[in-house]
Homo-oligomer: A and B are copies of this chain.
């Protein structure tokens, strides 16, 4: 369902037009021009490895990543997708000395801004605004996990997919990453989506096809568009 690629980590320091970095992490992202470091990863690069302790915190400037856990037999559960503006390793921020519970990989070309976790923490203690931004991010992470749990626990395949699309759309919209016609990038392939929702890739395909047939959404070439949001939400509720 995915094969281990040689870690294509290429560390440059190219300048990013950071228009994309909005959202809860925005505040954090802006005050660190000096001490921060922009790094580029290739698709599939491992940013965080479960079990290891890392004292860096990364905020996505451009590209997608995903947080996941892997079972012994190779199965993988994607906990959530990370988009520009997201803090990659909230865990490392909250608990600088504790090993990461989950791994994170780049889904696309990925530009991240990295900080010393401790530095960011200190900062949060001093500035109320910064602290709020940080707490908000943690809160959102918790909420997202819980809601995904509800989705997978209580909804069938159509519901899960509908929810995923609605959620991605809304999160991207918050960060001004949805085009005027409602289209947005969707670099995740059907295998990723399957592993995120706990269904098989084949079944993802069939369900998505039925969505397209009923003109709920459009997907082509790593780009998606919601055609009928009301109907989509109705499917999500079911």
A residues engaging B (CB < 8 A)?
69, 71-73, 75, 77, 79, 91, 94-95, 98, 101-102, 135, 138-139, 142-143, 145-150, 152-154, 195, 197-198, 237
Contact = CB atoms under 8 A, between A and B. Distances in A.
Protomer copies = 2
A75 B152 CA distance: 13
Given A72-B237, A77-B153, A142-B142, 20 more contacts: A69-B147, A69-B150, A71-B154, A73-B237, A77-B149, A77-B150, A77-B154, A79-B149, A94-B139, A95-B139, A101-B139, A142-B145, A145-B149, A148-B149, A149-B149, A149-B152, A152-B152, A152-B153, A153-B197, A154-B198
A237 B138 CA distance: 30
Contacts of A152: 149, 152-153, 198
> Looking at chain A's contact residues, is the secondary structure mostly helix, strand, loop, or mixed?
helix
Contacts of A237: 71-73
